[in-house]
Chains A and B, each alone.
Chain A
């Protein structure tokens, strides 16, 4: 085929297609590249950097970097794994992640990522920032303590729901997700059926009254690491 692009991930020859990102091409070949802000169906954002790979020796976000003929990609090397571990560590200490009582625990992608990397505890000092909770909406609540600024809710509301309920405000360490109203989620046009309510990788945007429905042991990441579905497709 004319639009086939040949490149290498960790010494394995991969055939990608024109227009694919490295992450997509790897996934099609049964190679899982860890990611948090990326979600199929949403415009790639490249913000969490967990999907960092080395492309010809340079760090790139594989969720936004297109495949190119002859590139050499490093994904599972110790150096790349260390970069990812450090990012996950930083995401934990920058927020207030109290897994022990979080409704998302067991189904949380950030937690699952730490499990996959076998992180017993982050190595950086905890920041314990002061953040708020917005429980004004009848069906949905926002807990900013758990937000990792992946922008999935921003993109889903804008691109899938056509509403623009969420967006980022402020810069740098002050950056946060705000709602499209004076202050409260209840004053936006968010509906419980909106896609934006389903995409949060952590427990920052959750549905009310359905917490802890799945028992410990039966949750998404209790037994199998995140990404193992993609890796299982390869062995078939």
Chain B
């Protein structure tokens, strides 16, 4: 029987949650025995090669590309998991949510203390994904099946959840593994 496939991505995140996944140490050898990685920065596969059992989403949605990738994951994955505080509640990027977008752009490209931008241009190339009005947690964009909070979720949290799902058991995290920081 073919191994179940796992896909991962980092949307509006910092890759810290992916680092935490690597932090499972030598259990990563067990993990590659259990699963194959499909679309993921871990193996650098850019497009889905087929149906995946589990999709791990790091980061929330801050721009239109994030939304498209997230919808693509929902389409291809049986189980979708929000990994980390950015995916579950918006996280640090969501601190802009009560500041008008125009002010965010001005701070980043015009008025910020370290900005050097003599042409006073705000990047506007069609190649660049448009920012959303605010940063959305993943479950406000598509249906999410499980949430693993934490900044990042500990390696043990990720391991426990993955192993439970791969062995068809419910994800029942002990007290010490649900943390918001």
Contact = CB atoms under 8 A, between A and B. Distances in A.
Interface of A: 92, 96-102, 105-106, 111, 114-115, 118-122, 125-126, 128-131, 216, 222-223, 225
Interface string B157-181: 0000000000000000101101111
Nearest to B135: A128
B175 A100 contact: no
Interface stretch (B23-31, B64-72, B112-120, B147-155): B147-155
Tell me the interface secondary structure of chain A in the complex: loop
A126 B89 contact: yes
Given A125-B140, A128-B134, A100 B181 contact: yes
Nearest to B151: A100
Interface of B: 82, 85, 88-92, 94-95, 97-98, 134, 137, 139-140, 146-149, 151, 173, 175-176, 178-181
Contacts of A105: 180-181
A223 B174 CA distance: 10
B33 to A, nearest CB: 28
Nearest to B148: A120
Contact of A96 (B98, B139, B175, B176): B98
Given A96-B98, A98-B95, A126-B137, A121 B178 contact: no
Nearest to B95: A98
Nearest to A115: B178
Contacts of A130: 98
Closest 10 pairs between A and B when the two form their complex, measured CB to CB: A100-B151, A99-B180, A128-B97, A120-B147, A130-B98, A121-B88, A121-B147, A105-B181, A99-B181, A100-B181
Contacts, number: 67
A120 B153 CA distance: 11
Tell me the interface secondary structure of chain B in the complex: mixed
A126 B147 contact: no
Contacts of B146: 120
A72 to B, nearest CB: 30
Given A92-B89, A115-B175, A119-B178, 20 more contacts: A96-B95, A98-B92, A99-B181, A100-B92, A101-B92, A105-B180, A105-B181, A118-B175, A120-B149, A121-B82, A121-B88, A122-B89, A125-B140, A126-B90, A128-B94, A128-B134, A130-B98, A131-B98, A223-B176, A225-B175
Contacts of A222: 176, 179
